[in-house]
Structures are given as C-alpha cells and as structure tokens.
Structure 1
Amino acid sequence: MNYWEITKESFTKFFSSKPLLYSSSIAFYLIFSLPAILIILLTIAGSAFEDVMVKNALLEQLTNLYGPDSAQIVQRIIENNSGIGTTWIAKVVGVISMLISATAVFSSLQDGLNAIWQVKSDPKRDLIHFLRNRLLSLGMVVSIGFLLAITLLIDTGLSFFKDFLTESFSSIGFIIIRAINISLSIGIVTVVFALMFKILPDLKINWNDVWAGSLFSAILFTIGKFVIGFYLGNSSLGSVYGAAGSLVLLLVWVFYSAIIVLFGASFTFVYMKKAGDKIKPYEHALKVKEVEDQ
C-alpha cells in the first residue's frame, strides 16, 4: 500500500470536508463542556486514586499536551467547581445538565467525522440518533477517564525506573526518560484518536482500520505540539487579548487538535477505500448521496 498516495488523497478529502467550520465548532463547544468533562474525569479516576494525585496527573498531562497556560485554566475551573447542588432536585438537574454539557463537544466532533465519512443520520429517526449520540459521547468521556487512571498506574510504575536511570546514567538517562515520555504520550493520544474514530461516526468500522490513521494522527499531533508551542511561546497572541489570553491559547490548541483529528479521519477514510473496505452506515444513518437523492 502506497502511503504517500494515501497522504495526498487525504489532504484532498480533508479540505473538501469543511474542516475549519467543524474545528471552530468543536473549540466553541469545549468552552461549555470543559467543566462537566473535568468533573466526570476526576470522579472516574478519583475512584481508584486520591483526588490530589488525580488532579496533579491531569494537570501534568494537559501541560505536556497544551502547555502551562491552558493547564492553568483547567486548574482554576477545578478549584472553582462548587458541585452539582445540595437538594435532591438540584442534584438531579445538575447531573442531567452536566451530562448534556459534557457530551456537547463530542456531538460536534461527531458531525465533523460524519461529514468526512459521508454519512448522515436518518431524519426519520432523529430522537434515536440523539439518544445514541449522547450515550456514545458519554462513553468517550468515561473511556478517557479510565485512560487517565491507567496513565496514573503507568506513571507510578515508571517512577522508580526514571529515578534509577537519572542516578545511574545522568544525561543519557535524561534522554531515555524523555524518549519514554514522548512514546507514552504518542501511545495515549493514539488510543484516544482510535476511540474517536471507532465510536463516534455513524458507521460500522473495524478496529484494524482505525489504528493506522490514529497512529499517524498522534505523530502529527506530537510534532505540531512542539511547533505550535514554540510559536505561541514566542508570539504575543496571548497578551493581545489581555485577561482572556490564556483562554484564547487554549482555544487555539483545541482548534489545532480538532484539525488533526479530522485529518486523521480523512487518512483513515482513504486508507479504508484503498484496502477495499466499504462504508457501511448504521441502521439509523444513511450515506450522504442517499439523503440527497430522496
């Protein structure tokens, strides 16, 4: 299989799917989804570890992925969270609102992925589609929560190994540790991308078809993280917006992340077609051409 040809066709597919529109939508919805997502993530991972350890691990991962300014915003959101209510009515309303808010950004992401896969929900089954989308989006949040817990386990297991390398090999040990951290970061992001490509679109897709695009996307994300991090660190973008500068930087990172996810989906789409796999929408969805012909 010619991966260079796949990459070229992926760019064509990507730019024909309105990536800027969907990436902007995803970044916008994240503003409202982030507090609820953080509560769910901390609750899931906190069931196995101490809250302080979970918060520190989450902030460390966000710092590695998006930089200290974005992590600082998340930290303030966590510190300012006052719970979901005291009375049972307030708790019920709070839980429902939290679940709807947490899944909004993934619902927007699903729209972008569906556009790339050329599928669309059947207008006659909108309610079923809505409920399914919310459950799948909630499943994504829960999966990321478990992934955070697994990351904590891995970090705990590697802590002794890191200390041993640093003490025994000095500068070489530092290089090895850096390589391990980058590899783990790519691995974690690959799994997250694979979950998105497998779970969110309204079509049947095999696990074997998502891994190539997920790994490719994770590598691009890691490379772009250093490039954009260098650019943002040496530009005045944050200071131009004053007090909102940190939020703007976070939105830039989310916008870029969404671009990478959508390009990875385009790569996976072309990869599947080259492999001879057919696009098979779920029962509640149709191919875009079928919708247009009705």
Structure 2
Amino acid sequence: MESLTRLPVVGPALAWLMHTHAWRTYERLDRVHWTRLAAAITFTSFIAFFPLIAVGAAIGAATLSRSQMAQLQKKLAQQIPGISGQLDLGALVQNAGTIGVVAGALLLFTGISWVGSLRECLRAVWELEEDPGNPLVRKVKDAFVLVGLGGVALVSFAVSALAATAVGRVARLIGIPENGVGGWLLRIAAFLIAVGADFLLLCYVLTWLPDVEPPRRTVAVAALIGAIGFELLKLLLSSYLKDVAAKSMYGAFGVPIALLLWINFTAKLTLYCAAWTATPPAAQAGHEEEWAAEADKAQPSEPEEPSELSGPSEPSGPSEPSGPSGRPEPEVEKHRAGRPEGPPAAA
C-alpha cells in the first residue's frame, strides 16, 4: 500500500486514507483475524438464538400482557429482515410458557456460554488476554451480564415501540398522507428512533461485555456507527435475505443459511465498532510508538559474562616503547609498500 501513495492522482488521497481512524481500525481487525472471530460469534449466536428467544418469551409470558407480548414479537421480527415470517416466531412465543425449570436452566446455560464467547472475541479485538479468575465466578458474572443485556434490549425495544406508536398516532391525528413528504418524514423519524434504541444497546455491548473503559467520546462514535450501520443493513439486506431463504436450491436449509448470513453481517459490524473503541487516536498512537522506541534505546545492554575457563586477569605492566622517542610506531609505517622496514645494512 505504501507504493500506491506515490501515484500521481490517487496517491495523496490514499495517503490521507491510510492515516484516518477508520483505516487504522481496519488494520487492527486484520491483525487480530476478525473473520475468524466473526465466524466464532456467528456459530455461537446461531446455536443460542432460539434458546435465548425461548427464555425471553417465557419470561415475557409470565410478566407481560398479550398486547405487550404481541408488540414485543413485532419488534423482534423487525430485527431479522426478510426472514422473520419463515422463522415462525409466533409459535415459539406461544409455546414458551411450557418451558420447565430444568429446560429453562439448560437454555440459560446456553445463553451464558454465548455471552462468554462473545466477551472473549471482543477482548481479542482489544488484544487482551482471556479474563482470568475462577470459572464459576466468571459464569455468575456472565449470567448478570446476560440479564443486563436482556434488560437493555427490552428497554431499547420498548422505547423504540413507544416512540414509533406516538409518531404514528400524531400523524393520524394531523392527517399526514403516507406517500407524501410527511410520510417520508415519518419514516425518517422511525429510522432515527430505531437508531437511538440500537445506540443504547451497543453502548452496553462495547463496554460491559469486554470489561473495558474506553473514552466516552470514542464509545459514542462507535455506537452511533454501529446503530446506523445496523439499520442500513436491515434496509439493504431485507430483500437479499428473503431471496436466499426462498431459493429452492437450498431446500430446507434456506432459512438457516439466511439467518447465518444475517448474524455474520451483524457480528462483523459489532467487531468493527469494538475495534473502533480499541484503536487509539492518531496522536496517541504516534506517542506510543515514540515511547516504545525510547524504551528500546534506554534498555541497558547485558554485561558480558566472564569465561569460566579463564582465570583472574593479571594486571598488565606498562607497555614498552617501540621507537626511539618512546612512542609506538604507527601500524602504517610497518607495512609500506615497496620499501624495506629498516635502513640497509652497512657493508
């Protein structure tokens, strides 16, 4: 890439791009092998997807009314664009009340394992070691994180639903047509409300899950990028995922493949946001490189160990003078080309 910066037209633009925070974020992702991390998140999320929905639906069935559960199911379907109809979330929610205590505990354990896997992937982006400590204590901590994640998701969905409902009622009271300018303004308002809900959720994921404390401004920027990107992904990939799920060549695997694609896109976006928070600003990164170079220079050289075979060194006496003036002759005088070292002997 360095050679491309010397091109006559695009070189300056590439040089500027390579010094931006976005480019250095991508370099960090490439350094930590983010495709492998995204694959790990995709697999564990796919395994834990239906158990987590079942546990959440069971809790919701015991605490929420039917209308509230229907609204929650609608918001959940909106988070999976294009394939929510094929997943049959309604049947899953209706049968969630039959989940027993033992089955609920097993499903909760699956969710805790998913939280642990996601946390380690995010810590890998930060280039941190695995969280040390007692494994049992870690599981308990992951359980609290899972409960907190569910609470934040529930609050964000509720805020989004209430705001969207309020905007719709106001539009109907005023009489704004759906296909006119007012309708587009309502859609933009709904988009911004959804971005706000995703923003709250990502702020929790980027800080509490990896157990890090990045600057608040960096977290806000990364969460905003992730929230807007997530909503744009839902808009752009809705028809694509629907086509993948409906392809006859995949048969019964069409819906799982589409769901895997959606989870993978979401995982990569989450990893990029995490790398954004983990990448220091340009000035700080330059100072860190200077500090590392100075630290390498300041390290003292290791003293040479005395040889075991050699005895104690004896003090050497004064050197004998080699010339008439008592000064040693230069080495050059001894090796003059074409001249003898001393005067010719007398006959």
TM-score range, shorter chain: 0.7 to 0.9
CA displacement 1:187-246 (0-9 Å, x = unmatched): 111211111001100333454431110101222223333333343345577433212212
Counterpart of 1:10 in structure 2 is: 25
Counterpart of 1:30 in structure 2 is: 45
Aligned ranges 1:82-121 → 2 under 5 Å: 83-85=98-100, 91=101, 93-121=102-130
After superposition, the Cα gap between the structure-2 partners of 1:234 and 1:39, relative to the gap in structure 1 and judged at 3 Å, is closer
Q: Following TM superposition, by how much is the alpha carbon of 1:51 offset from its aligned partner in structure 2, in angstroms? A: 2.7
Counterpart of 1:54 in structure 2 is: 69
Q: Which structure ranks higher in relative contact order (CA pairs < 8 Å, sequence separation ≥ 6)?
A: 1
The one-letter code of the counterpart of 2:240 is Y
Query: How high is the sequence identity, in percent, across the aligned residues?
Result: 19
Larger CA deviation: 160-169 vs 19-28: 160-169
| TM-score, structure 2 as length reference | 0.67
Counterpart of 1:282 in structure 2 is: none
Counterpart of 2:231 in structure 1 is: 222
Counterpart of 2:191 in structure 1 is: 182
Instruction: Give distance in 2, aligned partners of 1:154 and 1:47.
Output: 25
Instruction: Give distance in 2, aligned partners of 1:44 and 1:148.
Output: 16
After superposition, the Cα gap between the structure-2 partners of 1:156 and 1:12, relative to the gap in structure 1 and judged at 3 Å, is same
Counterpart of 1:291 in structure 2 is: none
Counterpart of 1:135 in structure 2 is: 144
Q: Following TM superposition, by how much is the alpha carbon of 1:49 offset from its aligned partner in structure 2, in angstroms? A: 4.7
After superposition, the Cα gap between the structure-2 partners of 1:51 and 1:148, relative to the gap in structure 1 and judged at 3 Å, is farther
CA displacement 1:161-207 (0-9 Å, x = unmatched): 13235546851121011101111121111211111001100333454
Contact 2:44 2:114 in 1 (8 A): yes
Q: Following TM superposition, by how much is the alpha carbon of 1:44 offset from its aligned partner in structure 2, in angstroms? A: 5.7
1:231 equivalent to 2:237? Answer no
Unmatched runs of 5 consecutive residues or more in structure 1: 86-90, 278-294
Q: Following TM superposition, by how much is the alpha carbon of 1:71 offset from its aligned partner in structure 2, in angstroms? A: 4.8
Counterpart of 1:210 in structure 2 is: 219
Q: Following TM superposition, by how much is the alpha carbon of 1:12 offset from its aligned partner in structure 2, in angstroms? A: 0.9
Larger CA deviation: 61-70 vs 213-222: 61-70
Contact 1:44 1:142 in 2 (8 A): no
After superposition, the Cα gap between the structure-2 partners of 1:153 and 1:228, relative to the gap in structure 1 and judged at 3 Å, is closer
2:241 aligns to what SS in structure 1? helix
The one-letter code of the counterpart of 1:140 is L
Q: Decide which structure has the larger Cα Rg and report it.
A: 2
Instruction: Give distance in 2, aligned partners of 1:206 and 1:137.
Output: 24
1:65 equivalent to 2:79? Answer yes
Contact 2:160 2:194 in 1 (8 A): no
Which structure has the highest helix share of the two? 1
1:203 aligns to what SS in structure 2? coil
CA displacement 1:24-67 (0-9 Å, x = unmatched): 22222233322332244445666775234333x33433443322
CA displacement 1:121-152 (0-9 Å, x = unmatched): 35454433333233213321232123223333
1:239 aligns to what SS in structure 2? coil
Q: Following TM superposition, by how much is the alpha carbon of 1:9 offset from its aligned partner in structure 2, in angstroms? A: 0.6
Runs of 4+ in 1 over 6 A off after TM superposition: none
1:199 equivalent to 2:204? Answer no
- Cα root mean square deviation, aligned: 3.0
After superposition, the Cα gap between the structure-2 partners of 1:79 and 1:44, relative to the gap in structure 1 and judged at 3 Å, is closer
1:223 aligns to what SS in structure 2? helix
Instruction: Give distance in 2, aligned partners of 1:54 and 1:155.
Output: 16
The one-letter code of the counterpart of 2:154 is G
Instruction: Give distance in 2, aligned partners of 1:15 and 1:237.
Output: 34
Match of 2:273 among 264, 280, 286: 264
After superposition, the Cα gap between the structure-2 partners of 1:47 and 1:122, relative to the gap in structure 1 and judged at 3 Å, is closer
After superposition, the Cα gap between the structure-2 partners of 1:95 and 1:169, relative to the gap in structure 1 and judged at 3 Å, is closer
